[in-house]
């Protein structure tokens, strides 16, 4: 019987196996950042242990850095965390994309950008959105700080073999509907824990038709469906994206490695433990109304009522979410007004996301009731957007044009949404307090957020004549 | 890591589904570079009112929850962010055991690494304990070696747990120290593949 890509990557990384134990799995790439690494470095120091493979470790700072005057960090505790990362990277010999580096940016944006992320690799990071790298056919998952320390010391992790799940997405997307809508629709349909204990492979015609950046958006939010990791078998789109990137072999070596990568795709007769299906042609622009990413509806829909829940738990959860979000059941999504727009995060702050938003924004103005922010995912994305004239489009429309970082996705830095106010956000989590205490987050695609910025409320981008067809 | 064999303690119950780690420990407290002292920030936005006084409506603030060492919650506890600060905060606050029908995968792993025992129990058992907590004090005896929880009304409930993690907890082992004993295997793997 054939194998899934998940099994193939797993088999190739097994260092040791024994009955009654998890497998000892080798880790090819360890990405680290300022928030979840200091205690791990401290653990190494206290136990007098070495970092086994600094050459397979790469660091950036992204979570708590400011996106305005980024070198002036006024928050002393945040400053210390940044300084400690610099010191740790120096002491342990880890390459760091610091604030002055042209490679700096959100960890899940720079990995692919630099070509560090490659098909067939095992990739970990102390961040749950590490699943992003799965878009390349890597087995990539988020870990806690103790595991970060374990990887630092041993370059391995003890892992139980996960269950495998295929999510088959066929059909063609309608104009105005994006990869973000696919993943939000999937989580709304199957719930925030459909993938618990599983590694998911996204497959099907719609997935094949997506660009690498769109695939990253989908894999990024695998964790919001509870999955340990999400990935996509690599194909020509993957190989073309990687060609010429800094850490990708060039010349003949590129051809050799591509031949290896081609072997990774799941075999046609591979069996998964379970299967879910989604028809891309039925996906509409999505907006979340609640406090988890599964509480979303289509833009032509309305805020649900607790009575729509099928169990007591669900009814109570809807009630609790509505109360926090300050929404009345039955309110049309298009009638909900917003005060903030956040275009950014590891989900949607790549160049194609900014292009998509800019093509709608061009020549328009941000509504006067709205404060809108664009936070590019990396220094490179920022520079490219400036070169392409996207920055000018955003600035002329009234957006604030910021430096790279995680920013308002989790509001660890000064970019926060005030209590009781509403934000149209291209990020990945609408949890209570995520963007600020009592802040109200609505997740959506970049073009939906751009349209909301102009109109001051959610709008169905499919109805807007002004959106030119996607290039 | 401290050894975990048997624990007897009182319960506090949070009858909510999908409690994410952003709630367990909000982001503003992730800037610290230490592993300790996070208990004071546990469920910060839910536990405390605007004036930083305890919210009397929040279950952890009930008088009978004051000395609770066992937390009971609904499905998908600890979903979301990978922040291990969530496990550190629960433990620093005084919890030794967390019981739920299901957990977020990363939180589940993080708990073991810190000697905080996560136990999966069927929904109806969890519901029953949540109701008992609403009515009064509930005490449980959690026996990891036997994989059994006894409640104070004579109810006996077995649970499943991975042998590897069970062993780690019972003996309070240092996982990294153990893995370093496999250094030869790791080196051999590196030679063969790199």
User: Could you write out the three-class secondary structure of A325-389?
Assistant: HCCCCCCEHHHCECCEEEECCCCCCCHHHHHHHHHHHCCCCCCCCCEEEECCCEHHHHHHHHHCC
How many Å apart are CA A175 and CA A469, to the nearest integer? 7
Q: Give the CATH fold of the A5-275 domain.
A: Aconitase; domain 3 (3.30.499)
CA dist A411 and A414 (Å) reads: 7
Average pLDDT for B81-108: 98
**Binary contact (B35, A42; C-beta < 8 A):** yes
Number of domains in chain B: 1
Measured in angstroms, the CA of A40 and the nearest CA of chain B are apart by 9
pLDDT tens figures, B34-43: 999 999 999 9
A469 pLDDT more than 70: no
- Judge whether residue A429 has pLDDT over 50: yes
Beta strands in A106-197 (DSSP E): 122-125, 139-142, 156-159, 163-170
Cα gap A424→A421, rounded to integer Å? 10
Q: Kindly write down the DSSP assignment for every residue of A235-288, as one continuous string.
A: -HHHHHHHTT-TTS--THHHHHHHHHHHT-SPPTT---SEEEEEEGGG---EEE
CA–CA distance, A53 with A160 (Å, rounded to integer):
23
Q: Are B23 and A319 in contact (CB under 8 A)?
A: no
Q: B22–A429: do the CB atoms touch at under 8 Å?
A: yes
- What's the helix, strand, coil split of chain B in %, to 5? 40, 20, 40
What is the rounded average pLDDT of the residues B141-154?
97
pLDDT at A465: 63
Closest-CA residue to A402 (of A413, A96, A410):
A413
Portion of chain A with pLDDT greater than 90, in percent:
96
For residues A226 and A195, give the distance between their C-alpha atoms in angstroms, rounded to a whole number.
5
CATH of the domain at B178: 3.20.19.10
Residue B144 contacts A where some CB pair is shorter than 8 Å: no
| Mean pLDDT value across residues B111-124 | 96
- Residues 56 to 75 of B: which have CB under 8 A from any A CB? 74-75
Q: Is A423 annotated as a binding residue?
A: no
Which homologous superfamily is A292-463 in?
Aconitase, domain 3 (3.30.499.10)
d(CA B4, CA B178): 18
- Inter-CA distances, A341 with A170, A214, A370, A445, Å: 31, 21, 7, 11
With 90 as the cut, is the pLDDT of residue A466 above it? Answer: no
Q: Is B2 on the interface with A (CB under 8 A)?
A: no
- How many angstroms separate the Cα of B19 from the Cα of each of A265, A293, A320, A398? 36, 13, 12, 37
Query: What average pLDDT does the segment A429-441 reach?
Result: 97
Distance between CA atoms of residues B189 and B184, nearest Å: 9
Q: Is residue B57 part of a domain?
A: yes
- B83 occurs within a structural domain: yes
Which two structure tokens, joined as six digits, stand for A311? 């169990």
Chain A nearest C-alpha distance from B23 (Å): 7
Q: Are A221 and A347 contacting, i.e. CB atoms less than 8 angstroms apart? A: yes
Confidence of residue A467 (pLDDT cuts 50, 70, 90): low
Domain boundaries, chain A: 5-275, 292-463
The reply to whether ipTM tops 0.85 is yes
Q: In what order do the strands lie in the sheet with A440-443?
A: A400-401, A371-374, A340-343, A422-425, A440-443
What pLDDT, in 10s, does the model give residues A219-256? 999 999 999 999 999 999 999 999 999 999 999 999 99
Neighbours of A111 (CB within 10 A): 29
Tokens describing residue B131: 């109701």
Region A161-189 average pLDDT: 97
pLDDT at A468: 52
Question: Could you tell me which of B86, B70, B79 has the C-alpha nearest to residue B35?
Answer: B86
Mean pLDDT within A135-140: 98
Q: Which of B23, B31, B184 to mutate to test the interface with A (most CBs of A within 10 A)?
A: B31
User: B52, B58, B22, B56: which is closest to B40 by C-alpha?
Assistant: B52
Show residues of chain A in contact with B83, CB under 8 Å. Answer: 35-36, 144
* Residue B167 within a domain: yes
DSSP state of B93: H
Residues sharing a CB contact under 8 Å with residue A445, sequence separation 6 or more, in sequence order: A177, A178, A179, A180, A181, A285, A286, A348, A356, A426
**Count of CB atoms situated within 10 Å of the CB of A70:** 18
Q: What does DSSP say about strands A14-16 and A163-170: parallel, antiparallel, or unpaired?
A: unpaired
**Known binder of ligand: residue A125?**
no
Tell me which residue range forms the domain holding B145. Answer: 6-193
Which one of A35, A49, A432 has the shortest CB-CB distance to B30? Answer: A35
The reply to whether residue A81 touches residue B110, judged by beta carbons under 8 angstroms, is no
Question: Given B33, B104, B193, which is nearest A39 (Cβ)?
Answer: B33
Residues in B closer than 8 angstroms to A432, CB to CB, are 22-23, 45
Mean pLDDT of B3-23: 97
Of A63, A144, A193, the CB nearest to B76: A193
What's residue B131's pLDDT? 96
Q: Give the containing element (helix H, strand E) for A454.
A: helix A446-455
**DSSP secondary structure of B33-86:** SSSS--GGGTTHHHHB-TTS-B-TTSGGGSGGGTT--EEEE-SSBTBS---THH
According to the model, what pLDDT value does residue A312 have?
85
Any idea what DSSP says for residue A171? S
When pLDDT is averaged across residues A286-295 and rounded to a whole number, the result is: 98
Among B31, B106, B114, whose Cβ lies nearest the Cβ of A143? B106
Does A158 sit within 8 Å of B186, measured CB to CB? no
pLDDT band, residue A311 (cuts 50/70/90) = confident
Which residue among B30, B176, B185 places its CB closest to the CB of A412? B30
Per-residue pLDDT band for A471 (boundaries 50, 70, 90) equals very low
Ramachandran sector of residue A49 (left: φ over 0; alpha: ψ -120 to 50; beta: rest): beta
Sheet holding A23-26, edge to edge: A14-16, A23-26, A156-159
At residue B183, the pLDDT reads 97
Query: How many other CB atoms sit within 10 Å of the CB of residue A7?
Result: 18
For residues B122, B128, B131 and B136, what is the CA-based torsion angle, rounded to 10 degrees?
-120
Same fold across A5-275 and A292-463:
yes
Q: Residue range A191-215: average pLDDT? A: 97
Q: Are A235 and A198 in contact (CB under 8 A)?
A: no
C-beta atoms of B182 and A154 within 8 A: yes
pLDDT value of residue A139 = 98
Q: Is residue B142 part of a domain?
A: yes
Q: What is the pLDDT of residue A1?
A: 86
DSSP category for residue B143:
E
Q: Is residue B1 part of a domain?
A: no
Kind of pairing between the strands at B148-151 and B139-143: antiparallel
Report the mean per-residue pLDDT for chain A.
96
Using CA atoms of B67, B72, B73, B79 in order, give the dihedral in degrees to the nearest 10: 90
């Amino acid at each position: 019987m054939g194998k899934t890509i998940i099994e193939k990557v797993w088999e190739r990384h097994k260092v040791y196996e024994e009955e009654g134990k998890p497998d000892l799995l080798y880790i090819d790439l360890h990405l680290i950042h300022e928030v979840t690494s200091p205690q791990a470095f401290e653990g190494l120091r206290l136990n007098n242990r070495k970092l086994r493979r600094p050459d397979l470790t790469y660091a950036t700072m992204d979570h708590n850095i400011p996106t305005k005057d980024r070198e002036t960090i006024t928050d002393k505790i945040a400053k210390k965390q940044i300084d400690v990362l610099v010191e740790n990277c120096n002491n342990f010999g880890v390459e760091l994309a610091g604030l002055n580096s042209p490679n700096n940016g959100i960890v899940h944006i720079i990995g692919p950008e630099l070509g560090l992320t490659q098909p067939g690799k095992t990739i970990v990071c102390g961040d749950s959105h590490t699943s992003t790298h799965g878009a390349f056919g890597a087995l990539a998952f988020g870990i806690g700080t103790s595991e970060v320390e374990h990887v630092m010391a041993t370059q391995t992790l003890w892992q139980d073999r996960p269950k495998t799940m295929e999510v088959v997405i066929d059909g063609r997307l309608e104009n105005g509907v994006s990869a973000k809508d696919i993943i939000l629709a999937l989580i709304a349909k199957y719930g925030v824990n459909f993938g618990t204990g599983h590694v998911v492979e996204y497959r099907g015609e719609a997935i094949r038709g997506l660009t690498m950046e769109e695939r990253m958006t989908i894999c990024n939010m695998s964790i919001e469906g509870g999955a340990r990791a999400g990935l996509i078998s690599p194909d020509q789109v993957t190989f073309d994206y990687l060609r010429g990137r800094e850490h990708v072999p060039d010349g003949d070596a590129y051809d050799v490695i591509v031949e290896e990568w081609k072997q990774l795709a799941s075999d046609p007769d591979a069996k998964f433990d379970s299967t879910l299906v989604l028809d891309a042609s039925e996906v509409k622009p999505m907006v979340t109304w609640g406090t988890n990413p599964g509480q979303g509806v289509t833009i032509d829909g309305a805020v649900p009522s607790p009575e729509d829940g099928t169990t007591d738990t669900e009814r109570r959860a809807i009630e609790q979410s509505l109360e926090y979000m300050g929404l009345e059941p039955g309110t049309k999504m298009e009638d909900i007004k917003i005060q903030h727009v956040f275009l950014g995060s590891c989900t949607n702050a790549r160049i194609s996301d900014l292009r998509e938003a800019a093509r709608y924004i061009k020549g328009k103005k941000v509504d006067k009731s709205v404060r809108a922010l664009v936070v590019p995912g990396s220094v490179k994305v920022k520079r490219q957007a400036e070169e392409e004239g996207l920055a000018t489009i955003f600035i002329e429309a009234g957006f604030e044009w910021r430096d790279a970082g995680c920013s308002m996705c989790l509001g660890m830095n000064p970019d926060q949404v005030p209590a009781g106010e509403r934000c149209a956000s291209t990020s990945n989590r609408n949890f209570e307090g995520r963007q600020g205490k009592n802040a109200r987050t609505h997740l959506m695609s970049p073009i939906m957020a751009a349209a909301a910025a102009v109109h001051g409320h959610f709008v169905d981008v499919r109805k807007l004549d002004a959106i030119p067809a996607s290039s | 890591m401290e050894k975990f064999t048997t624990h007897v303690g009182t319960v506090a119950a949070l009858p909510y589904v999908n409690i994410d780690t952003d709630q367990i420990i909000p982001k503003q407290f992730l800037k610290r570079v230490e592993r300790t002292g996070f208990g004071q920030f546990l469920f910060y936005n839910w536990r405390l009112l605007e004036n930083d006084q305890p919210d009397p409506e929040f279950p952890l603030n009930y008088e009978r929850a004051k000395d609770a060492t066992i937390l009971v919650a609904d499905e998908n506890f600890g979903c979301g962010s990978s922040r291990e600060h969530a496990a550190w905060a629960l433990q620093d606050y005084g919890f030794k055991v967390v019981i739920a029908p299901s957990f977020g995968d990363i939180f589940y792993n993080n708990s073991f690494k810190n000697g905080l025992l996560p136990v999966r129990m069927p929904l109806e058992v969890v519901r029953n304990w949540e109701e008992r907590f609403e009515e009064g004090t509930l005490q449980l005896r959690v026996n990891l070696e036997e994989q059994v929880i006894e409640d104070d009304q004579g109810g006996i409930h077995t649970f499943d747990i991975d042998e590897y993690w069970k062993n780690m907890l019972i003996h309070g082992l240092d996982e990294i120290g153990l893995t370093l004993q496999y250094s030869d295997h790791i080196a051999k793997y590196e030679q063969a593949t790199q």
